[in-house]
Amino acid sequence: MTIDLWYKDAFIYCVSVGSYLDTNADGIGDFRGLMRRLSYLQGLGVTCIWLMPFQPSPGRDDGYDIADYYNVDPRYGTLGDFVEFTNACEQHGLRVLIDLVVNHTSDQHPWFQAACKSKDSSYRDWYVWSKTKPKNAESGVVFPGVQESTWTLDKTSGEYFFHRFYDFQPDLNTANPAVQAEILKIMGFWMQLGVAGFRMDAVPFVISTKGAEIETPIEQYDMLRVFSQFLSWRKGDAIVLAEANVLPGDDLNYFGDVGERLQMMFNFAVNQRLFYALASCDSRPLQEALTETKPRPSSAQWSHFLRNHDELDLGRLTDEQRATVFEAFAPDPTMQLYGRGIRRRLVPMLHGDRRRIELAYSLMFSMPGTPVLRYGDEIGMGDNLALPERTCARTPMQWTDEVNGGFTDHPHPKNPVIGGGPYGYEHVNVAAQRRDPDALMNWMERMIRMRKETPEVGWGDFDILPSGRNEILILRYKWRNSTLLTIHNLAGDPIEINFRPDPNPEAEPKPLINLISDDHSHPGADANHCILLEPYGYRWFRPKDLGFLRHLSDF
């Protein structure tokens, strides 16, 4: 049987329905608005849309506190609108991933309400309880400075319930077979409505043992195999993209020996080291992360990103490395979050420097795996640090220079659109950049197209080539007799490098064709290539035969 590994060639675009486009003037985006922009996303080069939570929710955690897993929040539309959306995506050649948030529910969910009302309720064991407050209740909090404990008293039943996140998000007892069966039911429901897979939230917590007596949680990896088998049974090419910020090496437990557990994972190790590389101009820790996360089953795939809907988590860096990134990109404490991360969008972090922005995205696109782009980053949207916690980077999409950026006709949208200043909708919007061939959006479209034309990155194996300079990162990909070279200069100074694309001394020297510009490169007499990289410069090359180049009049 042939398995469709479509996610190896995908370009994923993360979007919040409520922040994209409002069609009924209530100040909140909706599915009808998102449908109106499918041609835009298709033209950008997107092949898969990842939707943040859109189910009914009190909205205390931007929808991650779900109160009904089988419906659409009325603010965004109806189930009928969702089905129309997935059908429209299929017509545009787009797949849909949705957030699967099953580590916890809202405290307003009927399951939890029933569990609180009676200890005899069938839903009581769907959550985790303790008669007394555990001694370690203050340890293991996910949001330091905001969250005080992982155990909270339910006054109705007189017992404490466990919550890894906020106190209004009680954890589900995922070890309970009835809860696991419900998770599969949820997955099957949305797949029946056209979903191609799920971005599973907080996977290490989902599969960990939970309870007052547990001091060191144990990951139940077989649970992932159950999920994967169900997906394969119901829809052969459905996937799970896991949010699992784990140490290199532990990821193999999540993928499985032969990829029988998870199909995709976010590569947090590379993400954090990449930002350290941008801040320090030192590629060595990034090279280490790439090497450490290189082993994986052939069907498994890493997903790479720069910024997402959460803070930029730097918790895996050393204290010194994290201080370096803070100093470069978030020197003001108001830009930092939870003592470990940065809550800004990428472009303000890089001070709007177009050279560094292009370098960062070129670097991300060249990482081994599948790229993920956050909505609005294609036009360089900014952040609103006056908004609390992570909300600052979740502002509405900026479409035009009209009032509220063309997002809504409502005078006061639920989440304010960024207006005024260098990142206001008056200056940063899709309409203006569509008319400017040199705008970031058009550069991004060209880069996405080029990335999709270089399958070596998604499918092939890679080596890190020596350059003699810590500021330089050279990756060589090989796949099906095809080779790709990507070179990045992390420094703000020009650097000349001499390197050999193929370390094999018997390999025939070949010219390198630049895939982005006409700046090709000939090998020297010593078979090395001498390339001058401008500050924050980058190159994407493919080796070609001399016979081919003789027919290029511009070389």
Tell me the pLDDT tens digit for each residue of 294-341: 999 999 999 999 998 889 999 999 999 999 999 999 999 999 999 899
Taking Cα atoms as reference points, which of 323, 331, 341 lies closest to residue 280?
323
Residue 81 known to be catalytic: no
Query: Of all helices (H) and strands (E), which one includes residue 378?
Result: none
Give the whole-angstrom CA distance, residue 176 versus residue 386.
Answer: 42
Q: Assign 363 to helix, strand or coil.
A: helix
Label residue 409 exposed, middle or buried (CB < 10 Å: 0-12, 13-18, 19+). middle
For 460, phi then psi, to 5°, come to: -90, 180
* pLDDT confidence of residue 438: 97
**Structure tokens of 365?**
């696109």
Give the whole-angstrom CA distance, residue 238 versus residue 321.
Answer: 38
* pLDDT confidence of residue 2: 53
**HEC per residue, 386-444:** CCCHHHHHCCCCCCCCCHHHHCCCCCCCCCCCCCCCCCCCCCCCHHHHHCCCCCHHHHH
* pLDDT confidence of residue 235: 92
Q: Which residues contact 196 (CB under 8 A, 6 or more apart)?
A: 6, 48, 95, 96, 97, 235, 237, 238, 239
* pLDDT confidence of residue 551: 40
Query: Of all helices (H) and strands (E), which one includes residue 49?
Result: strand 48-51
Residue 84 known to be catalytic: no
Residue 436's pLDDT band, with cuts at 50, 70 and 90, is: very high
Cα distance from N-terminal residue to C-terminal residue, the chain: 46
**pLDDT per residue as tens digits for the range 347-369:** 999 999 999 999 999 999 999 99
- C-alpha torsion 491→371→18→338, nearest 10: -50
* pLDDT confidence of residue 505: 77
Fold of 110-162: Oligo-1,6-glucosidase; domain 2 (3.90.400)
CA atoms within 13 A on the CB side of 121: 16
What does pLDDT average to over the chain?
94
Percent of the residues in the chain that have a pLDDT greater than 70, as a whole number: 98
Give the whole-angstrom CA distance, residue 438 versus residue 434.
Answer: 9
Work out the average pLDDT over 45-69: 97
Kindly state which CATH superfamily the domain 6-103+177-452 is placed in.
Glycosidases (3.20.20.80)
Between 553 and 56, the higher pLDDT residue: 56
The angle subtended at Cα 449 by Cα 445 and Cα 450, nearest 5°, is 120
Summary count for the chain: helices (H), strands (E):
17, 21
**pLDDT per residue as tens digits for the range 384-419:** 999 999 899 999 999 999 999 999 999 999 999 999
How far is CA 116 from each of CA 35, 134, 172, 291, 508, rounded to the nearest angstrom? Answer: 40, 19, 13, 48, 73
Label residue 314 exposed, middle or buried (CB < 10 Å: 0-12, 13-18, 19+). buried
Point out the least confidently predicted range of 50-54, 409-413, 459-463, 550-554: 550-554
* pLDDT confidence of residue 68: 98
What DSSP character marks residue 509? Answer: P
How far is CA 266 from each of CA 102, 203, 371, rounded to the nearest angstrom? Answer: 18, 11, 10
Catalytic-labelled residue, pool 62, 73, 243, 358: 243
Is CATH 2.60.40.1180 the right assignment for the domain spanning 460-549? yes
Give the whole-angstrom CA distance, residue 424 versus residue 404.
Answer: 10
pLDDT of 550 > 50? The answer is no
Work out the average pLDDT over 255-266: 95
* pLDDT confidence of residue 555: 35
Structural domain boundaries of the chain?
Answer: 6-103+177-452, 110-162, 460-549
The count of other CB atoms within 10 Å of the CB of residue 435 is 9
pLDDT of 548 > 70? The answer is no
Residue 545's pLDDT band, with cuts at 50, 70 and 90, is: low
**pLDDT per residue as tens digits for the range 470-513:** 999 999 999 998 999 999 999 999 999 999 998 777 778 899 99
Give the whole-angstrom CA distance, residue 20 versus residue 375.
Answer: 8
Give the whole-angstrom CA distance, residue 183 versus residue 189.
Answer: 10
What is the pTM (predicted TM-score) of this model?
A: 0.95
Catalytic-labelled residue, pool 107, 159, 201, 471: 201
pLDDT of 31 > 70? The answer is yes
**pLDDT per residue as tens digits for the range 182-223:** 999 999 999 999 999 999 999 999 999 999 999 889 999 999
Q: Which residues contact 491 (CB under 8 A, 6 or more apart)?
A: 281, 471, 535, 536
**Equal CATH topology for 6-103+177-452 and 110-162:** no
**Structure tokens of 464?**
């890190």
